[in-house]
Amino acid sequence: MIALKEKIIRISTAANEGHIPAALSILDILWVLYDRVLGVTPETMRDPDRNWFILSKGHAAIGLYVVLAEKGFFDPALLKDFGKFNSIFGGHPDRTLVPGVEASTGSLGHGFPMAVGLALAARIKRTPSKVYVIVGDGECNEGAVWESAMLAVHHKLDNLYCIVDHNHSGDSALNPGDMRKKFESFGWQAVSINGHDQEAIYAAITQRSDGKPVAVIAETIKGKGCKIMENSAEWTHKYPTPEQLEEMIATLT
């Protein structure tokens, strides 16, 4: 994981593009999904019965890119062009350009409705597909999130897993309160976990659903593993100096 964190920091810094702390916040979740749960490969992307993943908090795209590269969806060397003019790798993911990306996202609150639609389509088609979506806790201030949550319960979409990256970065603006209880009040099966404990992540996103969609509230640290950035609003969309960069890399955990 340290090697992936280093790639995120170096690639973003070279481009002066991307949200490094947001990407580090969800890296453990992304890795568990692609390494142990989704079962999706470059060869199975056109399989209609495959599992699906949507990164609704699209500004964390650099985290998704490094995981997809590690899993063979494209040559990792291509990431050196991240953020450059005419690069396929933008600050938000584009499904028409980046192999492995299932949905173009970045307008917060829109990825979750897409996931609900995919889960409903899989139910109608009677396929075994499961749909996983990562949303941010600040994103959960959008009304579309809760409209989607109600729709998912109405259709009993127990093939849908919503993972909330609860890094508390927006609490000072609008504290969402107890996210687990909120989802439960909407009729979801919900659990809170340490979002950096990969075994806890795996257990939560493979749990058997009791006829309900599943919400996993992942308690995370924005900028996890980079001590200078951890829980610092200053670094939300900021890039290190050469001296800071080397200090960050040397102290990654």
Domain ranges of the chain: 2-250
When mean pLDDT is compared across 29-33, 170-174, 212-216, the lowest value belongs to: 170-174
Cα–Cα distance for residue pair 166/155, rounded to 1 Å: 26
Residue 138: which pLDDT band, with cuts at 50, 70 and 90?
very high
CA angle 43, 48, 52 (to 5 degrees): 80
Q: Is the pLDDT confidence value at 173 over 90? A: no
The predicted pLDDT at position 122 comes to 97
Between residues 169 and 145, the one the model is more confident about? 145
Q: 214 in helix, strand or coil?
A: strand
Q: 178 in helix, strand or coil?
A: coil
DSSP structural state of residue 215? E
The predicted pLDDT at position 237 comes to 86
165-to-136, 175, 217, 226 alpha-carbon distances in Å: 5, 14, 7, 17
Cα–Cα distance for residue pair 58/207, rounded to 1 Å: 26
Mean predicted lDDT score pLDDT of the chain: 95
Largest CA distance in the chain: 55
CB 102 within 8 A of CB 135: no
Residue 127: which pLDDT band, with cuts at 50, 70 and 90?
very high
On the 0-12 / 13-18 / 19+ scale of CB atoms within 10 A, 76 is: middle
Q: How do residues 33-42 score in pLDDT, each as one tens digit?
A: 999 999 999 9
Token pair 């979002």 in the structure block, residue? 195
Torsion (CA) 1, 25, 131, 188 in degrees, nearest 10: 130
Sign of the torsion formed by the C-alpha atoms of 173, 30, 67 and 45: negative
Residue 176: which pLDDT band, with cuts at 50, 70 and 90?
confident
The predicted pLDDT at position 153 comes to 98
Cα–Cα distance for residue pair 15/83, rounded to 1 Å: 6
Domain 2-250, CATH number (from 3.30.830.10, 3.30.70.120, 3.40.50.970, 3.90.199.10): 3.40.50.970
From 39, 102, 27, select the one nearest 64 (Cα to Cα).
27
Q: How do residues 159-171 score in pLDDT, each as one tens digit?
A: 999 999 999 988 8
